[in-house]
Amino acid sequence: MKAILQRSPIVSRLTGSCGYPVPDPVAVAQGMSMTSQDSLTVLDTYGFIRHLGELTVSSVRGSMVIAVIDLWDIRPLCRLVNLPCLEPWDEDSLSVALNEAFQYSSVVEKPYIIRLNPLLSRSLCPRLNEVKVLVNRPVFNRNWGIGNRWRLPEQWGNNDERVKLILSRAREHVKSGDVLVEGYLPADSSASRSLYVNPLPINELSGVKIVEEARPFMINLIKGVNPNVEFKDSKAKFDSIVRDAWRVIDNGPIDPAALIRFCLLKLVREGRLGNVPIVVSSPYLIRWSETVMRPDYNPNPTYFMPRNINDITDATHINPLALVKGIGDYSYGSKVTVVTSCDVYDDAGDGSIVIINDQCPPPANVSVIEVNGGVELDRVCQLITSTLDNGGVAWIRLSGFRSELKAVVDRNLCDLCGDCIALKCSAITTDEQGYPRINTDECIGCGLCVSACSRGAITLFKPGS
């Protein structure tokens, strides 16, 4: 079977080979389910949150399985809306989870959620081919037990017998041990695991002495039956897994959108975007900002000087174009939107920068600018400046971000301006005297730091030459 994919760079990169992207994947899955067809939908965390209300009131006839590539923690949300949630920890348990979800979603008439470690999600396509599902011709029964089932979602509700059945299934999939480990985290064979994390079969886990997870979700539930259970915080391990997943998605220590954000950083510093510009981005194109700001309730526009490219984004949204449209007539600076072609772009207005994702091709009538790596930073900045000055939308395809070349710093030419440090590239650190230092093992030869250095202190070389 073919999976239904959210239009997301994360989903397309990790699972794009086994499905097709659509603008509203949950609606497609609902249409299949109401006509007795089984479906698998793949979302990322942002997509799951966006479609949570729709999933909560979905009527299910054909099995509706939702695999979520989770970069955060959706377990509390599943518990809040009472959706069955499975959490496989390796490829074998992933196969079990898929078969369990397809078998019982139609029985309990609820979507089944499978929470996927981003790295494990790469095994979804081959494991999906092993799942036995019924291939039915679409059939429809308007009433099917409840009058107007497909028109009145408020009639959808919990059935005590179905709740009991889900809990009994959860009890069947518990691996005993003294230490209960979250499915995202590696563990030895003696670890306790629970395939179901909602409902979590806490009575079967009452003998657990330690819960190891990134967030205290399972331990807060188990404390009801075992108040002496200990919590082992594994947030560092969890964050490491997520960082590794971003490396798979971005193909390197610096993300493709870094060129865009560096150009905007320069424009903000030069005052070219007004006193208080607003930069709104797709969540897939930002990186965590380490800048901590104090609460400020000033009703007037607030000036802020970003220190690095990760500070440049003011707001993110799953549909950034709609957010900017909601701002309306803003007179204190430019409104800039940075999105991917997987985001909704039908209403892309002036000041929009669209980065092409190959899984979501652009409309045939737009002009796409091909950019070959960070060495073309000046060309990208000129394009962005022209777009913001003259209106319109810039469509950019970024490529060539990895080469055999490495960057090196000539300290005699460096004036410590900090532009290369502002790139927040993991290959660039500073030495004891504050000069930039480049780790050649981390450097992917993209050339962005070379273009960013106005003094010519950074050059590319070929190792061994």
Q: What are the Cα distances from residue 396, in Å, to 335, 367, 381?
A: 19, 9, 12
Question: Does residue 346 surpass a pLDDT of 60?
Answer: no
Give 12-47 pLDDT, tens digit per residue.
888 877 888 888 899 999 999 988 899 999 999 999
Largest CA distance in the chain: 80
CA angle (438, 258, 345) in 5-degree steps: 165
Distance (Å, whole) CA 81 – CA 67: 17
Give 118-147 pLDDT, tens digit per residue.
889 999 999 988 887 766 678 877 666 555
Whether the full predicted model's pTM is greater than 0.85, yes or no, is no
Residue 216: what pLDDT? 93
Cβ 20 vs Cβ 359: under 8 Å:
no
Task: Name residues whose C-beta falls within 8 Å of residue 358's C-beta, 6 or more positions apart in sequence.
Answer: 12
> Using 50, 70 and 90 to split pLDDT, how confident is the model at 279?
very high
- Average pLDDT along the chain: 86
> Using 50, 70 and 90 to split pLDDT, how confident is the model at 344?
low
Pairing of strands 352-355, 315-316: unpaired
Distance (Å, whole) CA 166 – CA 87: 15
- Bridge partners (DSSP) of residue 280 are 315, 337
CATH code of domain 406-461: 3.30.70.20
CB neighbour class for 92 (10 Å; exposed up to 12, middle 13-18, buried from 19) = exposed
Residue 143: what pLDDT? 67
Within the chain, all domains assigned CATH 3.30.70.20 are found at 406-461
Cβ 48 vs Cβ 19: under 8 Å:
no
Distance (Å, whole) CA 311 – CA 129: 43
Question: Does residue 222 surpass a pLDDT of 70?
Answer: yes
**Cis omega (within 30 of 0) on the bond before 153?**
no
Instruction: Name the residue with tokens 């798979």.
Output: 248
Q: What are the Cα distances from residue 412, in Å, to 435, 445, 460?
A: 10, 22, 16
Cβ 278 vs Cβ 330: under 8 Å:
yes
Distance (Å, whole) CA 157 – CA 110: 10
Tally the residues of the chain.
465
Question: Does residue 232 surpass a pLDDT of 90?
Answer: yes
Question: If you average pLDDT over residues 188-194, what whole number do you get?
Answer: 91
Residue 348: what pLDDT? 64
- CB count in 10 Å sphere of residue 108: 20
Q: Residue 452: name the closest of 284, 271, 261 by CA.
A: 261
Pairing of strands 406-409, 458-461: antiparallel
Q: What are the Cα distances from residue 131, in Å, to 16, 111, 117, 134, 194?
A: 18, 17, 19, 10, 21
CA angle (38, 42, 47) in 5-degree steps: 125
Instruction: Name the residue with tokens 């709104």.
Output: 280
> What is the 3-state secondary structure of the chain?
CCEEEECCHHHHHHHHHHEEEECCHHHHHHHHHHCCCCEEEEEEHHHHHHCHHHHHCCCCCCCEEEEEECCCCCHHHHHHHCCCEECCCCHHHHHHHHHHHHHHHHHHCCCEEEEECCCHHHHHHHHHCCCCCCCCCCCCCCCCCCCCCCCCHHHCCCCHHHHHHHHHHHHHCEECCCEEECCCCCCCCCCEEECEEECCCHHHHCCCCEEEECCCCHHHHHCCCCCCCEEEECHHHHHHHHHHHHHHHHCCCCCCCHHHHHHHHHHHHCCCCECCCEEEECHHHCCCCCCCCCCCCCCCCCCCCCCCHHHCCCEECCCHHHHHHHHCCCCCECEEEEEECCCCCCCCCCCEEEECECCECCCCCCCEEEEECHHHHHHHHHHHHHHHHHCCEEEEEEECCCCCCEEEECCCCCCCCCCCHHHCCCCEEECCCCCEEECCCCCCCCCHHHHHCCCCCEEEECCCC
Share of the chain above pLDDT 70, in %: 92
Instruction: Name the residue with tokens 């989770």.
Output: 70
Within the chain, all domains assigned CATH 3.40.50 are found at 3-172
Task: Name residues whose C-beta falls within 8 Å of residue 40's C-beta, 6 or more positions apart in sequence.
Answer: 1, 3, 4, 19, 65, 66, 67, 98, 102, 128
Give 143-181 pLDDT, tens digit per residue.
665 555 555 554 445 567 888 999 999 999 999 889 999
Residue 155: what pLDDT? 47
The domain defined by 3-172 carries CATH number 3.40.50: yes
